Structure 1
């Protein structure tokens, strides 16, 4: 392959807990393989899962390229590359977000409608580093989208800082809301008012629900009101009975709160418990006699990513989504971005990989 068919790229290599990131310069083919898409990353955000990984709370292979919330611009498209989820053709110059997972499409789980749990799953920002093909995470100037990745076009007018979290936080919430069912007129409890919780408050309220948000932080409770919560309260106050509960904090006590609040016929969706935590007992008789449902959501389907972008496009001016992402760190300051994400009141810090 001629030299002009290669482009210069950079990526932040994570080597393990307690070690700084290393900025690596490399080249990658400018012509993607069959079914692949080469994307320039315009903005990435430091997700809570990235913080769990860096701190050692979440097992992850080392070395690797972290980051799985990002928005970018298509640079090149390989042969047989798919269209976007809504049928929009993938062409150079198109601004896009993409799913956190790439699925095979042919295993039993994919065939039964659970591609997010594909038996051959690849996951952006969570793969062991292969120096021959390192562009698998958001903390890089470019990413190579693998076959089986869901891609969604970003509408004009939707800022990068608002679109970036769609790839993880917003799409996960869309999946959780979908798991509850119709929300119009229902009483909904949301535990945790971080990035996911605030998004859930907005989605549920816009769907016609009466939303109560629970969080220990007064500032986050105030934000929840700005996103549509009809009622907010501290974690020490027992909530009223609800028809549906969305647990997005990952805290064991919050799971207990959600379960205790469920009315007859109620549904609890647990999406925050993605790291090891204490167990929660459930009384089978309570579930059976109360017609209650408890379900989990992890990753999401392509339609959830499309729903996330559609929701953000329609409502980002009505709620302060842009305020949830602060910072503008170049790729060589990724350590500073991670540290800021640990300390900042804002749920996300932005990394601008192509800014030097």
Structure 2
């Protein structure tokens, strides 16, 4: 039997490092040996109490590893954040991200039907409803580890806009998703890319990727909002020009409400969309993007740390936008 080492979150800032035996897989399930996991901001929100989470649980939903049992054995893969049924009304509509029976990687109770759902472990069990995408050799473990949340979500947000080429784009909130969005907009031929974040270092990173500050009175065709703050959402909407579209992707935890003038929306043919999670094609888009575009990963990613050091990371975070957890090497 395979022994699996886990960091089990037991509430507050407390974790328990433990070893368990791998379960017998069901039809269609995969056992993936993790190489690298990434510490996403939403996990920090769960641990801090800002957003609810199943407890106890194995957190972590970004990562890359090798399939050791089940379909696609020996392939190095990334995986979606959702496990979907493929049969409900929303799945039939092509909105699997909102599956009526969705389960989520790194969000399920350790005492429930999917205890080994998170990436903060030596292995993760992936149900049949989780999309997996093979990672080419040209993409390192470190870079691939953020595909399944950060990059794929950006791909869904950008698709919701329609055409980017030749349009002015504003990216608000320059965490990992926002900076990736700047790079995606530039790579897809945006006329100009404006960006804003209250942290000066993040603005500097965006400028290095080709963004520029937005000036008072500037109007744009596209706004991509990743900060999740009510003030940020208001800003992203307020800069829309005639026919502009705002996509909100950062508002995944409560942060108050905003006022929107419906007459201004109607007379200006403006559109507001929300994007949460993503579809399988967006995960493939993410891997394709990472295989063709080089970003300053040394400044964006921190670590790696060992799995045993994860509790300390939550107590005293590294400065990068994503701290990586090196769990095993592909040859181990």
Which interval holds the TM-score relative to the shorter structure? over 0.9
Secondary structure of the residue aligned to 2:121 is coil
Instruction: Please give the TM-score of this superposition, normalised by the length of structure 1.
Output: 0.89
1:346 & 1:232 partners in 2: Cα distance?
22
Partner of 2:209: 227
Q: How does 1:94-243 map to 2 (within 5 A)?
A: 94-130=75-111, 133-209=114-190, 210-229=192-211, 231-232=212-213, 238=216, 240-243=218-221
Shift of 1:321: 3.1
CA-to-aligned-CA distance 1:167-197 (integer Å, 9 cap, x gap): 1010000000000111111000000111000
Q: Is the 8 A contact 1:162 1:322 kept in 2?
A: no
Shift of 1:340: 4.0
Gaps of 5+ in 2: none
Of 233, 242, 247 in structure 2, the residue corresponding to residue 269 of structure 1 is 247
2:126 & 2:93 partners in 1: Cα distance?
23
Partner of 1:39: 32
Q: Is the 8 A contact 2:302 2:319 kept in 1?
A: no
Q: Is the 8 A contact 2:299 2:320 kept in 1?
A: yes
Q: Is the 8 A contact 1:12 1:332 kept in 2?
A: yes
CA RMSD of aligned residues (A): 1.6
Closer, same or farther in 2 for the Cα pair 1:232/1:345, shift >3 Å? farther
CA-to-aligned-CA distance 1:56-109 (integer Å, 9 cap, x gap): 0001111111000001011011xxx4xxxxxxxx2x221100000000000000
Partner of 1:28: 22
Gaps of 5+ in 1: 1-5, 82-89
Closer, same or farther in 2 for the Cα pair 1:99/1:239, shift >3 Å? farther
Shift of 1:239: 5.8
Secondary structure of the residue aligned to 1:346 is coil
2:239 & 2:40 partners in 1: Cα distance?
29
Shift of 1:337: 2.1
Partner of 2:8: 13
Q: Give the total of aligned pairs.
A: 329
1:132 & 1:282 partners in 2: Cα distance?
42
1:118 & 1:340 partners in 2: Cα distance?
36
2:256 & 2:94 partners in 1: Cα distance?
30
Q: Is the 8 A contact 1:125 1:136 kept in 2?
A: yes
Matching of residue 339 in structure 1 with residue 315 in structure 2: yes
Partner of 1:55: 48
Instruction: Out of 132-141 and 175-184, give the one that drifted further.
Output: 132-141
Instruction: Please give the TM-score of this superposition, normalised by the length of structure 2.
Output: 0.95
Of 257, 262, 287 in structure 2, the residue corresponding to residue 284 of structure 1 is 262
Shift of 1:345: 3.0
Q: Is the 8 A contact 1:204 1:211 kept in 2?
A: yes
Partner of 1:320: 296
1:163 & 1:219 partners in 2: Cα distance?
24
Q: Is the 8 A contact 2:58 2:107 kept in 1?
A: yes
Partner of 1:87: none
Shift of 1:147: 1.1
Closer, same or farther in 2 for the Cα pair 1:208/1:132, shift >3 Å? closer
1:66 & 1:276 partners in 2: Cα distance?
20
2:217 & 2:324 partners in 1: Cα distance?
34
Q: Is the 8 A contact 1:224 1:232 kept in 2?
A: no
